[in-house]
């Protein structure tokens, strides 16, 4: 290979190029905008239209120096020059020959260089011809693969015999990087230049073939509508083929990083890793990829081994419970006992299933929240009212569209720890249908022996719930299935007495009403007497929700007065009993609505409801007829059977009551329980019905200041009942003086507050005869009994018979 020769150096104006290389024999248009470059064009116009073009190493340099440009460029001839309106110049140039910079001069007006023309001798003609043929063949393949090159170029290439010209024209049409083209430009020797060109073309053809393979493979995996994914995959595949990697983290890499940093069981980690691998091979636009991504997000969001540290200070817990709740002595004691045991027994998961049962509005939910606050645990409330689908508890399987985990797993994610306090609110309101029985699904959750390995259908892995503290609330435990009730420790939350409501109203509710209704700057004074009037005359509840609403009503009325009349801050508003009609309207409830005088066939019974105790009147009348029995008042099956048992018992003691046995064949009996639209059920009205029947068939009046409760057998035994506190409270509020209870309930009196028992005469009875002796007015004249055609016995005899 011969040495390069140089002609005598010539001086040319220099125009530095950005991101483009001009080869000899090329005819291309250029747009020139830099002042020094335009000056170079103007100088060239004065100097035979010849110009030296060389490419910058860094296109971002505005004013390049000698070190910022390559050594070898191209001397060109300006064919046409046109100045555009935006002060740029469009110039059409033709490359003439290669030249090497000898001297470089940078002036304010532009650049000047002295260059030497580069020349070389041709090598072996045979070898050169072989290379030229190879180049032409490979370029033909390249043109067929690259649709951007017009096929007509092949005709002009085939007619070129000059190897230098051939190389320069071909390289101008190749898709190559700037430094690769500069390398070919700097190859002065013909055979070296052709060899480089041949290597570059072969490399480009290989890249195009790889690109086609990638395009074909990716296209078979994608749907036509997934254009964005197709482009991303194509780019990633090209980078993999070229051995390049993106420095930025992709979304999948972020998921993998989160997985590595997450504390979780090994089985869960392996499952998540498998799902991420599956996600990598999917289209991000496909429905299945969304399902897999959601599953991975849930797995990474769950607090597998994340716990909060408990505060087992009994004093702290007691202070919080006392501060936030008035009364509820038994409930607070049980909570403190639980905390004390936890302090001594380090093993969790034992005895943590508590159920707070009681009427609405007594503070069951807020007690659970206070317990969580005292422990320093996260608190999550799950409402079970109306839940009738088992999947709400256990989750849906991932085969279903829109599948999600159950409420348990969702609560743990929300809490962010594996040992929160989870409150199942209104567990007695769950029901079942064709979608499953959610109460049965709760059996595993609430069993300390089983919930260590709770399995959600969506997660499909075991999750340890043993460190979760579960608390339930219920209004009516009879609606909770027995197996579920067996797993819970039931804490009765009783209704409040009027005095307790008074203290809650003074200490909490009045202040809350003032705060919620913007009366901070005013003095709203509600006396104890006024508050008690609100409690007795406007509310009929076991809790304090209605009381809170009424106090808010009063506060709103006062707030309206403040705004309407523009009352100055600091004004004092005294709410007296006489003002209640103005703020709350007329009195809603009359607590002394019982009859004053003794009545025939009318008895005051006591009933328990989910919202507290109620006074339940039972009426019995007899009319001439043929022995029919009619029972009305929308009574349940148990209550109807109780009425029939009471009638059978009364008929069995007809002789002792002095009733002619043929009387039942000549008269009809109608038993009615008022408020006929309200459903009623239960056996505890048995003694009430016996007393009403005995009064109706004998004509003996019943004292109306007496109320009673108790189940009765057909042999006359009085059986125990539940809800004694609520029933006694209802009796006291109605103005009852004497209450008759079963003897077996006498032991429950110790748990009833004294302010309920004060003023009540409590009579425990074991047999119905004792009930009749205290309830019937046996001192009335015999003439009343003659009117109804009964066998006459003396009062003394009647008393003796009844007493027996």
Catalytic residues: 684, 727
Q: Is 149 in contact with 43 (CB distance < 8 Å)?
A: no
Cα 130 from Cα 347, distance rounded (Å): 88
Q: What is the DSSP letter of 433?
A: B
Geometric angle at alpha carbon 508, from 506 and 514, rounded to 5°: 90
Residue-by-residue DSSP string for 3-62: PPEE---EEEEEEEESS--PPTT-EEEEEE-SHHHHHHHHHHHHTTTEEEEEEBSSTT-S
In sequence order, which residues have a C-beta less than 8 Å from that of residue 31 and are 6 or more positions away? 84, 88, 89, 90, 91
Number of H helices, E strands in the chain: 31, 25
Measured distance CA(185)–CA(661) in Å, rounded: 134
The alpha carbon dihedral of 296, 297, 298, 301 has a sign of positive
3-state secondary structure of 630: strand
- Contacts of 258-265 with CB under 8 Å at 24 or more apart are 258/300, 259/300, 262/300, 262/304, 263/304, 263/305, 263/306, 264/299, 264/302, 264/304, 264/305, 265/304, 265/461
Are residues 650 and 658 in contact, defined by beta-carbon separation less than 8 angstroms? Answer: no
> What CA–CA distance (Å, rounded) separates 700 from 658?
12
Residue 54 vs residues 104, 114, 565, 658: alpha-carbon distances, Å: 12, 13, 88, 135
CA angle 656–659–664, rounded 5-degree value: 130
Contact 293, 279 (CB under 8 A): yes
In angstroms, rounded to a whole number, what is the distance separating the alpha carbons of residues 551 and 525? Answer: 11
| Angstrom distances, CA of residue 554 to CA of 539, 570, 580, 581 | 14, 18, 8, 11
SS3 277: helix
Nearby residues of 163 by Cβ (< 8 Å), 6 or more positions away: 122, 128, 131, 132, 190, 194
Q: How far is CA 461 from the centre of its chain?
A: 21
Q: Give 161's strand partners.
A: none
CA 295 to chain centre: 16
Give strand pairing partners of 764.
741
| Run of H or E including 702 | none
> Which is nearest to 676 in space by CA: 624, 737, 634?
634
Q: What is the C-alpha separation between 479 and 481, in angstroms, rounded?
A: 6
Cβ 688 vs Cβ 618: under 8 Å: yes
């Amino acid at each position: 290979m011969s040495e390069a020769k140089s002609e005598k150096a010539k001086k040319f104006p220099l125009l530095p190029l950005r991101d483009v290389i001009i080869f000899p024999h090329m005819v291309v248009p250029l747009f020139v905008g830099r002042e020094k470059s335009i000056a170079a064009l103007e100088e060239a116009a004065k100097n035979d239209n010849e110009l030296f073009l060389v490419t910058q190493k860094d296109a971002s340099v505005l004013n390049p120096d000698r070190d910022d440009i390559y050594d070898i460029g191209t001397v060109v001839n300006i064919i046409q020059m046109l100045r555009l309106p935006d002060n740029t110049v469009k110039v059409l140039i033709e490359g003439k020959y290669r030249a090497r910079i000898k001297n470089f001069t940078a002036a304010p007006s532009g650049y000047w260089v002295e260059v030497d023309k580069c020349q070389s001798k041709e090598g072996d003609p045979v070898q050169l011809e072989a290379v030229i043929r190879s180049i032409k063949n490979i370029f033909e393949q390249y043109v067929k693969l690259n649709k951007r090159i017009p096929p007509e170029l092949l005709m002009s290439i085939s007619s070129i015999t000059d190897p230098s010209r051939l190389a320069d024209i071909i390289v101008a049409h190749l898709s190559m990087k700037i430094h690769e083209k500069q390398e070919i430009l700097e190859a002065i020797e013909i055979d070296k230049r052709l060899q480089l060109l041949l290597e570059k073309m072969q490399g480009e053809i290989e890249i195009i073939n790889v690109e086609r393979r990638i395009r074909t493979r990716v296209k078979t995996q994608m749907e036509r509508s997934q254009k964005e994914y197709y482009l991303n995959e194509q780019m990633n595949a090209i980078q993999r083929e070229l051995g390049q990697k993106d420095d930025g983290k992709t979304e999948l890499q972020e998921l993998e990083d989160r997985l590595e940093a997450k504390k979780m069981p090994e089985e869960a980690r392996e499952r998540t890793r498998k799902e991420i691998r599956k996600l990598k091979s999917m289209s991000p636009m496909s429905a299945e990829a969304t399902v897999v991504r959601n599953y991975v997000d849930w797995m990474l969001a769950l607090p597998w081994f994340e716990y909060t540290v408990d505060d087992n200070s009994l004093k702290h817990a007691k202070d919080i419970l006392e501060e936030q709740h008035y009364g509820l002595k038994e409930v607070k004691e049980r909570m403190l006992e639980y905390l004390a045991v936890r302090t001594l027994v380090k093993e969790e998961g034992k005895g943590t299933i508590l159920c707070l049962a009681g009427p609405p509005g007594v503070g069951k939910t807020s007690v659970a929240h206070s317990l969580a606050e005292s422990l320093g645990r996260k608190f999550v409330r799950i409402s079970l009212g109306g839940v009738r689908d088992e999947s709400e508890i256990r989750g849906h399987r991932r085969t279903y569209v829109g599948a999600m985990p159950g409420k348990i797993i969702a609560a743990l994610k929300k809490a962010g720890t594996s040992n929160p306090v989870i409150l199942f609110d209104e567990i007695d309101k769950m029901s079942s249908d064709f979608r499953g029985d959610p109460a049965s699904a709760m059996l595993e959750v609430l069993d300390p022996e089983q919930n260590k390995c709770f399995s959600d259908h969506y997660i499909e892995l075991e999750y340890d719930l043993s460190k979760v503290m579960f608390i339930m609330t219920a209004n009516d435990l009879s609606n909770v299935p027995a197996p579920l009730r067996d797993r819970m420790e039931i804490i009765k939350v009783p209704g409040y007495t009027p005095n307790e409501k008074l203290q809650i109203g003074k200490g909490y509710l009045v202040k809350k009403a003032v705060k919620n209704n913007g009366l901070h700057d005013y003095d709203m004074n509600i006396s104890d007497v006024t508050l008690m009037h609100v409690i007795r005359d406007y509310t009929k509840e076991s809790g304090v929700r209605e009381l809170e609403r009424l106090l808010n009503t009063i506060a709103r009325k006062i707030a309206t007065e403040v705004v309407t009349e523009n009352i100055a801050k600091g004004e004092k508003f005294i709410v007296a009993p006489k003002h209640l009609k103005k703020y709350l309207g007329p009195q809603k409830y009359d607590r002394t609505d019982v009859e004053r005088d003794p009545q025939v066939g009318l008895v005051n019974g006591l009933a328990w409801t989910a919202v507290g105790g109620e006074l339940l009147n039972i009426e019995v009348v007899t009319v001439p007829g043929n022995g029919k029995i009619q029972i009305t008042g929308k009574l349940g099956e148990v209550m109807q059977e109780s009425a029939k048992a009471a009638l059978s018992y009364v008929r069995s003691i007809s002789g002792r009551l002095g009733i002619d046995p043929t009387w039942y064949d000549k008269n009809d009996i109608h038993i009615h329980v008022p408020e006929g639209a309200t459903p009623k059920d239960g056996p505890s009205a048995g003694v009430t019905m016996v007393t009403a029947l005995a009064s109706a068939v004998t004509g003996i009046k019943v004292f109306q200041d007496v109320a009673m409760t108790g189940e009765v057998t057909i042999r006359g035994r009085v059986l125990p009942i539940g809800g004694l506190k609520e029933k006694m409270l209802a009796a006291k509020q109605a103005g009852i003086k004497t209450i008759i209870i079963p003897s077996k309930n006498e032991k429950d009196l110790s748990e009833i507050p004294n302010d309920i028992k004060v003023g009540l005469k409590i009579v425990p009875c074991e047999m119905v005869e004792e009930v009749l002796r205290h309830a019937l007015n046996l001192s009335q004249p015999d003439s009343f009994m003659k009117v109804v055609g009964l066998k006459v016995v003396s009062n003394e005899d009647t008393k003796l018979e009844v007493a027996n």
